[in-house]
Amino acid sequence: MNFTLDNIDGRLVGTARLEGRLDAQNSKPFQKTFLEWLEKTPLLVFDCTLLDFIDTSGLGAIVGCLRKALENKGDLKLAGLNDKVGMVFEITKAKRLFSIFASQADAASSFASELNPGTT
Fold held by 2-115: Transcription Regulator spoIIAA (3.30.750)
Comparing CA positions, the residue from 68, 55, 52, 50 lying closest to residue 27 is: 55
Break the chain into its structural domains and give their ranges.
Answer: 2-115
- Whole-model pTM: value is 0.91
Q: What is the pLDDT of residue 29?
A: 96
Give me the percent of the chain exceeding a pLDDT of 90. 86
62-74: per-residue pLDDT in tens?
A: 999 999 999 999 9
Structure confidence at residue 16 (pLDDT): 97
Residue 114 in this model has a pLDDT that exceeds 90: no
**Of 21, 82, 32, 78, whose CA–CA distance to 55 is shortest?**
21
